[in-house]
Amino acid sequence: MFVDSHCHLDRLSEQTHGGDIAATLVAARAANVNQFLAIAVTLEDVPGLAAVAREHHDVVISAGLHPLHQAPKEPTVSDIVDVAEQYGAVAIGETGLDYHYQDSVPVEVQHERFKRHLMAANELELPIIIHTREAKEDTLALLREHTNPHVGGVLHCFTEDLDMAREAVRLGFYISLSGIITFRNAASLRELARKLPLDRLLIETDSPYLAPVPYRGKPNEPAWVVEVAECIAKERGISVDEVAMQTTANFYHLFRAALPDAPDNVKEALAQSGLVV
């Protein structure tokens, strides 16, 4: 059993099962991927994602505005809260800081946007999904100031250093690894996969982006989250089953609002494992 903890189902490539979400999910389920968190990039995306979730019992959604999206109007905390509540989001985001493309959205705008999402997450007691790139110190400073460690969140598609990951874990966050971990030049991420506690790791595709080896150069899809789990298992010298079970349990520990709608076979297996109460 696997969970794709971060995918963009509304942005699939036409090369991915003809852009058909239902067919893409069928292919993923055939690979034993049993839960999908569909991530919003804008608040305007959320109604469409909610429609997908209504059609597919194993899809849950987030609500938020990406740090690099050029929005005509910045959402207020109330805007974020209202959309998340109206459409049944299980998480806030993705949001955060990205200094690699500062010309896209000014740093000061990113900071204010990030803080508003953090405040919304605290108000709703929902975990927050964080995009962070080349913004280590500022990201951690805002997390220290504004997050509730009892709610927490995840640093998704993590590409920063081990020190940042360890500090985020100390603050109550999970670290999510994507197909990047399989890239030849990602030795530091594979080291991180070995050294972080397994009960603080999630796996994701970030599809349709960042396809893992051996699919590099193709649009990514949720079925290929299995490649991420296999890479982690190899690095840690453990079975893929152990990685699958623990990262699935981690997902439901963090995104507790998703657990009532989890597939029955997932609930049964987790109950038997004792990993989720």
**Cα(182)–Cα(208) distance, rounded to whole angstroms?**
16
* Tens digit of each residue's pLDDT (9 = 90 or more) over 108-150: 999 999 999 999 999 999 999 999 999 999 999 999 999 888 8
Scan for tokens 């699939």, then name that residue. Answer: 12
Which backbone phi and psi does 260 adopt, to 5 degrees?
A: -60, -30
pLDDT digit string, tens, across residues 9-37: 999 999 999 999 999 999 999 999 999 99
Question: pTM to 2 decimals?
Answer: 0.96
Q: How many other CB atoms are there within 10 angstroms of residue 163's CB atom?
A: 10
pLDDT 10s digits, 103-112: 789 999 999 9
Binding-site positions read 6, 8, 94, 131, 156, 206
Q: Which residues are annotated as a binding site for a divalent metal cation?
A: 6, 8, 94, 131, 156, 206
Cα-to-chain-centroid distance, residue 37: 7
> Average pLDDT of the chain?
95
State the Rg of the chain over Cα: 17
In CATH, the architecture of 2-273 is Alpha-Beta Barrel (3.20)
* Residue 39 falls in which region: left (phi positive, over 0), alpha (psi -120 to 50) or beta: beta
Domain locations in the chain as residue ranges: 2-273
Structure-block tokens of residue 46:
């959320």
CA-closest candidate to residue 196, choices 161, 227, 242: 161
